[in-house]
Amino acid sequence: MNTTTQTAGVNTQTTGTESQANKDAYFSVSNLKAYYGDSYIVQDISFSIDEGQIVALLGRNGAGKSSTLRAIARASEPELRSGTIHLGGESLHDKQDFEAALAGVQLVPEDRRIIPGLTVEENLDLACIEGETGWDYERIYNLFPRLKERRKQEGITLSGGEQQMLAIGRALARNIKLLLLDEPYEGLAPVVRHDIERALLEVKNEGITTILVEQNAVAALKLADRALILDTGEIVFRGSAQEVLDDEQLRHDYLAI
Ligand SMILES: Nc1ncnc2c1ncn2[C@@H]1O[C@H](COP(=O)(O)OP(=O)(O)O)[C@@H](O)[C@H]1O
Ligand SMILES: [Mg+2]
């Protein structure tokens, strides 16, 4: 286990059992550095996740959460200039976005990217074109019964919550190992959020590993096994979700809750 402790910032409350990046872990990133042009945004990030865990990735607006997810999914931007990423023994840092997707990484971006002109079901069909198929539609519809009711309806006419369900359903239609969720609760009423929370716990029970980025830190921590807090592109805290909930100073300094 790698126990070097060079994380910058205060409150790097690394507990004895937490590692910055354990390359033997199911998922790990090590010394990840990513840039938009000359702007150094993801600043030497390392962490690891056990299989089937939900990790909340938290931090203020602009802290670098979305950029970290994009770097992991191997989006063209931000550009990954150094560091390693491993998932289930396979390297991702040397891959492009579509190869990372084939390796089992699926990013559900904040804007959900529902394809206009296609029904709910056609959006799912499109997800299955490449790579191994994952959950069959019946299973996805069991997870989100509202999608079944609306399966012949154009995807972009759905409510925000239903579009989020479709975006998650579309990810599950492929054979994924790591689900990257960028602010899935944004703009959703609590009752709809609860439907999605229930679904995410079911996804966890199926052994899928999740990184959950959320502005609603309390809601994310309720679901998460562990938490990471980013500030200006660096990890300033790693620990259990409960530790964050119990640490008023930490919440005040980095999460404004
Ligand atoms: N496409 C981009 N080009 C240049 N800078 C960007 C781009 N996207 C994000 N940034 C900058 O990177 C930093 C981190 O942004 P982001 O990862 O979106 O933060 P978060 O998701 O935590 O709100 C911010 O300073 C933001 O302005
Ligand atoms: Mg963001």
pTM over 0.75: yes
Structural domain harbouring 97: 27-249
Report the C-alpha gap between 253 and 257 in whole angstroms.
9
- Does residue 17 lie within any of the structural domains? no
- Does residue 10 lie within any of the structural domains? no
Measured CA angle at 175 (ends 42, 228), to 5 deg: 30
- Does residue 104 lie within any of the structural domains? yes
- Does residue 6 lie within any of the structural domains? no
Question: What does DSSP assign to residue 154?
Answer: B
Per the structure, the count of domains in the chain is 1
257 residues of the chain, pLDDT tens digit each: 443 333 333 334 444 344 466 768 999 999 999 999 999 999 999 999 999 999 999 999 999 999 999 999 999 999 999 999 999 999 999 999 999 999 999 999 999 999 999 999 999 999 988 889 999 999 999 999 999 999 999 999 999 999 999 999 999 999 999 999 999 999 999 999 999 999 999 999 999 999 999 999 999 999 999 999 999 999 999 999 999 999 999 999 999 87
57 ligand 1 Cβ < 6 A: no
Q: Where are the alpha helices (DSSP H) in 33-159?
A: 65-72, 97-102, 120-127, 137-143, 145-149
Residue 50 belongs to domain with CATH number:
3.40.50.300
- Does residue 69 lie within any of the structural domains? yes
Report the C-alpha gap between 243 and 257 in whole angstroms.
14
- Does residue 87 lie within any of the structural domains? yes
Ligand 1 geometric centre to CA of 238 (Å): 21
- Does residue 49 lie within any of the structural domains? yes
Residue nearest ligand 1's atom 27 by CA:
62
- Does residue 254 lie within any of the structural domains? no
Residue nearest ligand 1's atom 7 by CA:
36
Report the C-alpha gap between 240 and 181 in whole angstroms.
19
